[in-house]
Amino acid sequence: MQRSPALVRNFLRQGSNQFLTVKSRPPCDVFINHRGIDTKRTVAGLLFYHFSRLNLHPFLDSKNMKPGDKLFDKIDGAIHKCKVGVAVFSPHYCESYFCLHELALLMESKKRVIPVFCNVKPSHLRVRDNGTCSAVELQRFSWALEEAKYTVGLTFDSSKGDWSEFLREASDAVLQNLVEVEEGVYRP
């Protein structure tokens, strides 16, 4: 992805000024969709902290939710209000109803989604019928997964990859997509 440093700096400068008043701050700039057992303490957690340090407002369930929050209300609301989604795919991602539901909602809402394939190849991701989902849900999840697999994303091998380079690439991708959404360049 080509960088446009001046555009990103300008966005951050305007964004940080815009976010000084709580009323104008959206509940979520970036929704981080992930499988907790695989990535919450690594990729997803690092992305959350890194985006926060950039004065963005990321949503990560374990950081933004508190006891008593209704899962679907809080998560679905954050997805509907976010500008960009980051889907962190991992080996156990497709085993989670919540991951697939969030991904489907991001796609159905026509959000800009940046796939991150962490320790998994896109071709290895498949929705499996384990008997807990209806045929309609399975079709919905399969469609969303295929959409994500055919979207240009980032790949990362956590055992061999350069973590700082990954964070830089992910940040650049998110910032560039936020700028495009803000400027109306991206229209679903």
How long, in residues, is the chain?
188
| Per-residue pLDDT tens over the stretch 100-123 | 999 999 999 999 999 999 999 999
Topology (CATH level 3) of domain 26-182: Rossmann fold (3.40.50)
Is 146 known to be catalytic? no
> Comparing 17 with 87, which gets the higher pLDDT?
87
Stated pTM of the model: 0.84
Residue 58, beta-bridge partner list = 30
**Which residue ranges make up each domain of the chain?**
26-182
From the list 95, 102, 169, 180, the catalytic residue is: 102
| Per-residue pLDDT tens over the stretch 125-161 | 999 988 889 999 999 999 999 999 999 999 999 999 9
Please state the rounded mean pLDDT for residues 8-31: 58
| Per-residue pLDDT tens over the stretch 59-86 | 998 878 788 888 888 889 999 999 999 9
What pLDDT, on the 0 to 100 scale, is given for residue 61?
A: 86
